[in-house]
Amino acid sequence: MLEAADERWCDSCNANVIITAMIRRASLTVLIAASMALCGCVPLALTAAGVGMATGTSHTLGGIVYKTFAAPQAKVQRATIAALKRMQIKVDETKREDNKELINARAADRDIEIEIEALTPNTTRVTVTATKSGGIIRDSATATEIILQTEKLVGTG
């Protein structure tokens, strides 16, 4: 009688070992299949990034947004000021340094710095940084929208 109980116990152990092995094998199969399926997402993600970059807006990890316009500095500056007015962002100060026009503005709890730099007579680079007041956190969404609104106005004006 003890032998029969021992055999059933051993059969139970073997079943647990077999089930554990099957679960591991199935998990590995699912992991490999998922990895192979997701490999196709990399080209798709790169394509999406390329389409997003077609707007000419470039983000850095620091939240600073840049765009180069094929337009004179004066035209880009007028468009930037108009974009800020359209967005109801208050301009605190504008000043000129060499070939750069600097604009400081404020919206709610954001301090916004805009640099408009003439690279050539018909090429102008705009850099926008929006920072939460008193902090180091940058708001790239607001900076991007300022660039996009400026871009619309440069194209129409």
Backbone angles phi, psi at 19, to 5 degrees: -65, -45
User: Rounded to two decimals, what is the model's pTM?
Assistant: 0.62
pLDDT at 36: 62
Task: Round the average pLDDT of the chain to a whole number and report it.
Answer: 79
pLDDT at 155: 87
Which range is least confidently modeled, 54-58, 94-98, 131-135?
54-58
Residues 2 and 6: their CA atoms lie apart, in Å, by: 6
Which range is least confidently modeled, 55-59, 68-72, 129-133?
55-59
Which range is least confidently modeled, 1-5, 102-106, 115-119, 124-128?
1-5
Mean pLDDT score, 109-132? 95
